[in-house]
A and B are shown apart, each in its own frame.
Chain A
Amino acid sequence: MTVAEKLVLPEEPSLEKKMRERDFNRFLLNLGIGLLVLGTLVAAGFSFTPYAPNAADFLNRLSPPSAEHWFGTDQLGRDVATRILYGGVWSIGLAFLITSIGAVVGTIVGLAAGHFGRAADTTLMRVTDSFFAFPELIAAVTIAGVLGPSTTNMVMALILVGWMRFARLVRGLSVDLAHRDFVTQARLNGLPSWLILSRHILPNVGPSLLVLWTNSWSRTILSISGLSFLGFGVQPPNAEWGAMLLDGKAYMQTAPHLMIFPGLAILVTVLSINLTGDRLRDLIGGEALSD
């Protein structure tokens, strides 16, 4: 091989390869969005399922998947498919709520830390660091456990331990932005703090915030189902996915479908949100987001 060949050859992806790469990325984005849309449509299928999520049918206990019961029935003869649909409301909806509250709280703390001088910054970030020291699940188990296992307590616990990522991100970005020329210009031109924050800082933090929010949403879905599986979250007979897995665990040998479908629902949901989030990050450029 001549020197010239060596210069050109190494690992320079061909145009075709780049195109394939791009198509693949686009495919992933579409897949993520498609799955989300599909999920929404399926959830809209509520009104069409002939079963109620908690309607017991003792003649049809633990029956395997069939034409009437697509995902089979559980130990009380309840339709698993219906319960998975209703369970999605708990998992996805609660996670949406928790993440959104966390995002708002974290953004306020982060902006305050980034904008109101060193004393506020140090204090707020020490508080954030202190909360950060508690692994999410451990804090949630403790709070939910000590206050008594219930959905409300789980939500409170997850909110309490879910805002710090947002605070760190927003603080980091706004400290960085505060030294950009256009913010300096705004300060020199005598703009008051609230206008600098709302016109200059927040709109430029927004995209990264959205990416983190997506990321947190899927994490929270995993946390909710995990806590429910451990018995600290959504309580039976409510059809949350983790709680359904906990129920089905006892019938693992005789009725494995009780364990397959709820888990699959979690996997697919989280995967599709993650895929969308990843592509979103690629689109935005993924600046300053540490995972």
Chain B
Amino acid sequence: MLSVDHLSLSIAGNLILDDVSFSLPGGQTLCVAGESGSGKSSLLKALNGLMPARFEQLVFNPKTGFAVTHAGHWQGRPGLKGSRWVMQDPIAALNPKLTLGASIAESIFSKNLSEANLENAVSTVLSDVDLPSEMTTRKPSEVSLGQAQRACLARALIASPDLVFFDEPLSALDAIVQKQIAKTMKQIQERYGITFVIVTHDLGFAAAFADQMLVLRDGKVEAYQVANSFFAEPASRYCRDLIEAARDLGSLPQAPLSSGRPAEVYS
């Protein structure tokens, strides 16, 4: 599980995140939604120690017991142990000078695997993310955006993480590729039982994935609800407006479904 208590973050006197708390059971998905500038991405950076946030407590529990506990500021190297992060722009997230294979293998650098084991591991995750194996020798400039994002997915997956952060994982892609990659993400989660934290502004996508919804507005928690009840009875006027807007745009179906996931567009 991932549990965050009273996280706040201020930079140069501006409060970016104010008292954010949530608690996510293992294997489930939390979708963080909100307008741009609401602090969604800063939340991921804060959780990974890339921004000087304050926590009362940050608990990340992979399988048994508490693995990491932090109080106060982050200390030491950034990154939550046992977690990986998939970023928004796959081309920017891959070193242009390295082949995809090298970038993927780098993710488990600390395991010190032998050449053969490494190749094995890489080809396993490549098939998990539906990438042909010849992609390992390509540079990021030689592949499509979708393939690059799959490579980023593979880079996260190869470390057998318990938790994967996604920062707008689909918004750089076009609609068909979005759908395919969302499907792959779903398969991966079901196969390995990984906990997902997904930052997105696309409520349709959130609806397909989320077990819990966290809506941020100007750095404050606007709503924190179980997904089903969020889409059925949003906690505030603002959330209702967000949902209405998504419905008007057609990314969410018009009426909330009575049972199960409200929208199955991505599966």
Q: Is there any pair of Cβ atoms, one from A and one from B, under 8 angstroms apart in the complex?
A: yes
Q: Which residues of A contact B (CB under 8 A)?
A: 180-191, 195, 199-200, 203-204
* B contact residues around A195 at 8 Å (CB): 109
- Whether A190 contacts B109 by the Cβ 8 Å rule is yes
Nearest B-chain residue to A201, judged by Cβ: B95
Among B48, B84, B89, B97, point to the contact of A203 (Cβ < 8 A). Answer: B97
List chain A residues, Cβ under 8 A from B159: 189
> What would 6 A/B residue contacts be, using CB atoms closer than 8 Å?
A182-B95, A182-B96, A187-B78, A191-B109, A203-B95, A203-B98
Q: Quick check: B109 and A188 within 8 Å, CB to CB?
A: no
**How many angstroms between the C-alpha atoms of A189 and B154 in the bound complex?**
13
What would 5 more interface pairs be, CB under 8 Å, given A185-B85, A188-B79?
A: A180-B92, A184-B87, A187-B78, A190-B77, A203-B95
Interface positions, chain B 86-103, Cβ under 8 Å from A, are 87, 89, 92-98, 103
A188 near B78 with CB under 8 A, answer yes
The interface residues of chain A, by DSSP majority, are classed as helix
The residue that A188 contacts in the complex, of B48, B92, B96, B103, with Cβ under 8 A, is B48
Q: A180-B92, A181-B89, A181-B92 are in contact. Are A190 and B97 (CB under 8 A)?
A: no
Q: How many angstroms between the C-alpha atoms of A187 and B79 in the bound complex?
A: 8
CA distance A29 to B87 in the complex (A): 39
Task: Please name the 9 residue pairs, one residue from A and one from B, whose CB atoms are nearest each other, closest first.
Answer: A188-B79, A203-B97, A181-B93, A181-B92, A182-B95, A189-B107, A181-B87, A190-B110, A200-B95
Q: Mark B214-251, 1 if CB is under 8 A from A, else 0.
A: 00000000000000000000000000000000000000
| Cα distance A195–B106 in the bound complex, in angstroms | 10
A-facing residues in B63-120 (Cβ within 8 Å)? 77-79, 84-85, 87, 89, 92-98, 103, 106-107, 109-110
Whole-angstrom CA separation of A183 from B93 in the bound complex: 8
Q: B50 near A: Cβ within 8 Å?
A: yes
Q: Name A190's closest neighbour in chain B (CB-CB).
A: B110
Check B95–A204 contact: CB distance below 8 A: yes
B85 cross-chain contacts in A, Cβ below 8 A: 185, 188
CB distance from B36 to the nearest CB of A (A): 17
Contacts of B103 in A (CB 8 A): 182
| CB neighbours of B97 from chain A (8 A) | 203-204
Q: Name A186's contact: one of B87, B89, B92, B106 (CB within 8 Å).
A: B106
CA distance A212 to B89 in the complex (A): 30
Residues of A within 8 A of B89 (CB): 181
CB within 8 Å of A: which B44-75 residues: 48, 50
The CA of A190 and the CA of B108, in the complex, are separated in Å by: 9
Minimum CB–CB distance from A9 to chain B (whole Å) comes to 36
Report the minimal beta-carbon distance from B164 to chain A, rounded to whole angstroms. Answer: 12
**CB distance B93 to A190 under 8 Å?**
no
Q: Is the CB of A191 within 8 A of B106?
A: yes
Q: How far is the CA of A156 from the CA of B104 in the complex (A)?
A: 45
Tell me, rounded to whole Å, the shortest Cβ–Cβ distance linking B155 to chain A: 8
Bound Cα distance A180, B85 (Å): 14
| A187: B residues at CB distance < 8 A | 77-79
A184 to B, closest residue via Cβ: B50
Q: How far is the CA of A189 from the CA of B108 in the complex (A)?
A: 8
Instruction: Give the distance to chain A from B160, nearest Cβ to Cβ, in Å.
Output: 13
Q: Tell me the bound Cα distance from A199 to B98 in angstroms.
A: 8
Given contacts A181-B87, A184-B50, A199-B98, contact A189 B93 (CB under 8 A): no
A185 to B140, CA, bound (A): 15
Q: Report A-chain residues with C-beta under 8 Å of the C-beta of B106.
A: 186, 189, 191, 199
Shortest C-beta distance, B104 to chain A (Å), equals: 11
CB-defined contacts of A186 to chain B, threshold 8 Å: 95, 106
Q: Give the distance to chain A from B75, nearest Cβ to Cβ, in Å.
A: 15
Alpha-carbon distance A200/B97, docked complex (angstroms): 8
